[in-house]
């Protein structure tokens, strides 16, 4: 069998901040819709994650930091004791076989529906601007509801939700956390001037629009230390909700990345292009220039195959690479990539729900 490790160090150990990995292949966060209505992980979730521990690092599926942060049915949470206990079973099982996992902390902001919110309240957002897209409720697909703008005095509670979730993730046995500041969920909604029309200290200037992200990072690193905290950014994606880009991507994200350096984070996880669609970038945006502003490790993400990962690693453009959808049908993805084995492909109807079918029933190549 061909052994690609001869010509690449993707299968060699790396340290991201304080997190030591067996290889540079990362499992990207994948929403699969397989928890119960209370967001408590179950034994099926344990099996799913353990099957994929050949990844140097698993980034958990996006995990709601609060009942308010929820935007999709059957997604996990990390704010109750039952949720902590459910996740602890997963982290214990992963560590028992030598794997590493960080939790992705998630607040969807405006990308929600009243049926998913406590007391059927309106979703919250920086500004009362409706998301152009659908969400998954217990009653099926529905248009995102009209959000309400957060009041200035409510912002500290948002930060506290992140801090509390970070503490819960620590008690649940994770190796670290990733702050989801991408894909046009709450934190990126604050960052972009297309979704943030505020006039208080969280709106207007780039410094003001980046304020909430930096305050959240400060709160989360206060729990974990910078070396076990990563952050995910997506400067040019329009997903979710067909969201317009910021009017000055380079200035806005450049400022944010430079400010993030003071926290000495474990890594920057970057969506290169439009999430799940393509790697196209507007002519006035230079993602390599933005990447170069970050002092720490860099994880490249979005439509990578092995050839692209090898070439970008050889050029020093990535420190690690995140694969998402290939991990769905290939629990042994690292071995398949390393030895040039054929990859299985999952159809879209297996992505969400359906219990074990299309979730834990994918065979390994050698089985």
Which sequence positions are flagged as catalytic? 185
Tell me, what DSSP letter sits at residue 363? P
Q: What does the alpha-carbon distance between residue 192 and residue 272 come to, in Å, rounded to a whole number?
A: 17
C-alpha dihedral sign at 276, 277, 279, 283: negative
DSSP conformation class of 287: H
335 CB-contact burial (10 Å; exposed 0-12 / middle 13-18 / buried 19+) = middle
d(CA 66, CA 83): 11
170's enclosing H/E stretch is: helix 155-171
State which H helix or E strand residue 64 sits in.
Answer: strand 63-64
- Rounded Cα distance between 162 and 86, Å, is 19
- List beta partners, residue 267: 230, 297
Contact 290, 254 (CB under 8 A): yes
**Tokens at residue 180, please?**
């989801």
- The answer to whether the bond into 12 is cis (omega within 30° of 0) is no
Structure tokens at 277: 């669609």
Dist. CA 31–CA 119, nearest whole Å: 24
């Amino acid at each position: 069998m061909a052994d690609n490790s001869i010509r690449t160090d993707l299968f060699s150990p790396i340290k991201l901040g304080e997190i030591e990995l067996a290889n540079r292949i990362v499992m990207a966060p994948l929403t699969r819709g397989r928890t119960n209505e209370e967001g408590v992980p179950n034994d099926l979730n344990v099996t799913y994650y353990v099957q994929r521990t050949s990844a140097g690092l698993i980034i958990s599926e996006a995990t709601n930091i609060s009942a308010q942060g929820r935007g999709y049915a059957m997604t996990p949470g990390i704010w109750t004791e039952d949720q902590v206990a459910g996740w602890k079973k997963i982290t214990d099982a992963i560590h028992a076989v030598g794997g590493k996992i960080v939790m992705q902390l998630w607040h969807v902001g405006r990308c929600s529906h009243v049926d998913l919110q406590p007391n059927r309240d309106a979703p919250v957002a920086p500004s009362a601007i409706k998301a152009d897209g659908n969400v998954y409720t217990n009653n099926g697909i529905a248009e995102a509801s009209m959000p309400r703008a957060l009041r200035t005095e409510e912002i500290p509670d948002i930060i506290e939700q992140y801090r509390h979730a970070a503490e819960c993730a620590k008690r649940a046995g994770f190796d670290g956390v990733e702050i989801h500041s991408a894909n046009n969920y709450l934190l990126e909604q604050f960052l972009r001037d297309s979704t943030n029309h505020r006039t208080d200290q969280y709106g207007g200037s780039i410094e003001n629009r980046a304020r909430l992200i930096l305050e959240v990072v400060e709160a989360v690193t206060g729990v974990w230390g910078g070396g076990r905290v990563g952050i995910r950014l997506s400067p040019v994606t329009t997903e979710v909700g067909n969201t317009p880009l910021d009017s000055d991507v380079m200035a806005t994200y450049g400022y944010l990345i430079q400010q993030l350096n003071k926290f000495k984070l474990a890594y920057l996880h970057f969506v290169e292009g439009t999430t799940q669609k393509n790697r196209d970038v507007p002519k006035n945006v230079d993602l390599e220039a933005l990447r170069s502003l970050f002092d720490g490790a860099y994880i490249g993400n979005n439509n990578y195959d092995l050839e692209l990962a090898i070439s970008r690693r050889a050029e020093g453009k990535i420190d690690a690479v995140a694969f998402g959808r290939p991990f769905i049908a290939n629990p042994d993805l690292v071995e398949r990539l390393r030895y040039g084995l054929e990859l299985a492909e999952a159809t879209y109807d297996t992505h969400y729900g359906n219990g074990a079918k299309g979730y834990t029933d994918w065979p390994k190549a050698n089985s």
